Chain A
Amino acid sequence: MQLQEIVELIYGKVLTDDNDLQAEVQGGCGADLMSDVLASVQPQAVLLTGLCNPQVVRTAQMADVAAIVFVRGKVPTQDVIDLANSEKIPLITTPYGMFELCGRLYKAGLPSLERRITSALDE
């Protein structure tokens, strides 16, 4: 799914400059714990989160996240936006909460890029 499509689906507002909204996103990952993101997300996912600090951008950069969506209309401070601009990671804010946001994107055909914890599912 193209980033542009995601932005439209979630009434998103793009916060960063010079974004490539034609970029293909492979799927999604929703988390507020950065270690969860680092442990589970596969490359080229859009990260849905309620956290707004610089670590979200750093985490995204380490984990090759394609874009970050902040839930519940949250907007990070300018230094976070500047960091995302310099690392070329698009930031988007949406009025939806985490549950509804995940639901809408999943329903629209965006798959999960969260790696399964197989051991837990086996038990």
Chain B
Amino acid sequence: MGTGKEPRRIVTDADARNISRVEELSYELKIADVMARNIHTVTPDMQIVEVLDLFRRNRISGAPVISDGKMIGIISLEDLIRAMERGNGHARVRSYMTVDVITVHSYDSVVTALETFARTHVGRFPVIDETERLVGMLTKGDITSGTLKALQRDYQEEEVRRYRASHLFDDIVSDRTSLILRYQIKQGDFTRGGQASSYIKRALLRLGANAQLARRCGIAIYEAEMNLIIHTTNGGVIWVEIEPNQISMATIDDGPGIADVDLARKPGWSTATAEVREMGFGAGMGLKNIERCVDEMNIESKVGEGTRLDLKILLPPEDSFRETGQQ
């Protein structure tokens, strides 16, 4: 199929503006990217009814016919129907298969396959590689789903790029730039408990934090958020400051305050009610968990006035949100 191809129309600038991403993709995507790799083959001596059963079980509509490791034909659902109409369900594949098989190459673009589909009106092509080895099958459905997947990938990459707000830290010049996130947490709001932490974790990932860093911050602030929900009188505030080389997080509330901070830090010590424990919290591990995830932790508390928990995570140069000097 590489030969005798009609020359493609020359694309003008005006046309180019109207070329959709899907059209672009049909040039960018290779057949190997979209074809079905998991192929079912049949032998020339199989009976039509056996093939029908194979098709039905695997929900396929065509299969290459292989003899001695070589593809000698292709058999499709239409061929099977033809055989069944004549009452030849027990005939062999070799009598009904198509022998002039049109193949496509795995390294060609999808647009080549689209042209071949249009030219030949054939429903499926076996795909062969450089060494003429059968490596897959291709239907129009494969092209559609492959293109959709590529579009989705595109979209996600664009999202990540657009939201990789980390270039903020490079674009905006100041002596010390930071991004501050604030959340109001309601006492007793278990339904939305964890939502703020979830937003914070997502924000860090969008800023380009690696999974481990996002996880450390997420776990620490989640435990702290649950403490605000479980233990405070009026809820409190979560405050997060993101700088290129460190993340500071704090929870601030106005009571009741912790009588003995050292005791509160002890693993297993808890004042949580049975109701809270039933929800899986109040095991007295919260502060211990937070401490494990952060580089610095400080609690200040006064009974009747409130509690302030300060957490800091220092970022090694390779995790910095600043991109200058890095590829």
A, B assembled together: yes
Interface residues of A (CB under 8 A from B): 32-36, 38-39, 43, 49, 51, 53-56, 58-59, 61-64, 79, 87
Question: In the bound complex, do residue B281 and residue A34 qualify as a contact, i.e. CB atoms below 8 Å apart?
Answer: yes
Q: Which residues of B contact A38 (CB under 8 A)?
A: 219, 222-223, 285, 289
Pick the contact of A36 from B218, B222, B285 — CB < 8 Å?
B285
Question: In the bound complex, do residue B201 and residue A63 qualify as a contact, i.e. CB atoms below 8 Å apart?
Answer: no
Q: Which residues of B contact A54 (CB under 8 A)?
A: 190-191, 193-194
Q: How far is the CA of A33 from the CA of B286 in the complex (A)?
A: 11
Q: Which residues of A contact B215 (CB under 8 A)?
A: 43, 62-64
A-B residue pairs in contact (CB < 8 Å), sample of 25:
A32-B280, A33-B281, A34-B226, A34-B279, A34-B280, A35-B281, A35-B284, A35-B289, A38-B223, A38-B285, A38-B289, A39-B288, A54-B191, A54-B193, A55-B281, A58-B197, A58-B222, A59-B222, A59-B280, A61-B194, A62-B198, A63-B218, A63-B219, A79-B191, A87-B198
Q: How far is the CA of A34 from the CA of B197 in the complex (A)?
A: 15
Give the residue name and chain of the A residue nearest to B278 (CB). Answer: A51
Question: In the bound complex, do residue B280 and residue A61 qualify as a contact, i.e. CB atoms below 8 Å apart?
Answer: no
**Looking at chain B, what size class is its interface with the partner chain?**
20 to 34
Question: In the bound complex, do residue B222 and residue A62 qualify as a contact, i.e. CB atoms below 8 Å apart?
Answer: yes
Pick the contact of B283 from A36, A61, A87 — CB < 8 Å?
A36
A36-B285, A39-B289, A39-B292 known; A62-B218 Cβ under 8 A:
yes
Q: Which residues of A contact B172 (CB under 8 A)?
A: none
Q: Is B211 an interface residue (CB 8 A)?
A: yes
Q: How far is the CA of A63 from the CA of B223 in the complex (A)?
A: 12
Shortest B205–chain A CB gap in Å is 11
The DSSP consensus for interface residues of chain B is helix
Interface-central residue, B193, B215, B292, by most chain A CB under 10 Å: B215
B residues 252-291 near A (Cβ < 8 Å) are 279-281, 283-286, 288-289
State the 9 A-B residue pairs at the shortest beta-carbon distance, nearest first: A58-B194, A35-B285, A34-B280, A62-B218, A62-B222, A33-B283, A35-B283, A51-B280, A39-B289
Q: How far is the CA of A70 from the CA of B69 in the complex (A)?
A: 48
Q: How far is the CA of A35 from the CA of B191 in the complex (A)?
A: 17
Question: In the bound complex, do residue A35 and residue B222 qualify as a contact, i.e. CB atoms below 8 Å apart?
Answer: no
Shortest B276–chain A CB gap in Å is 10
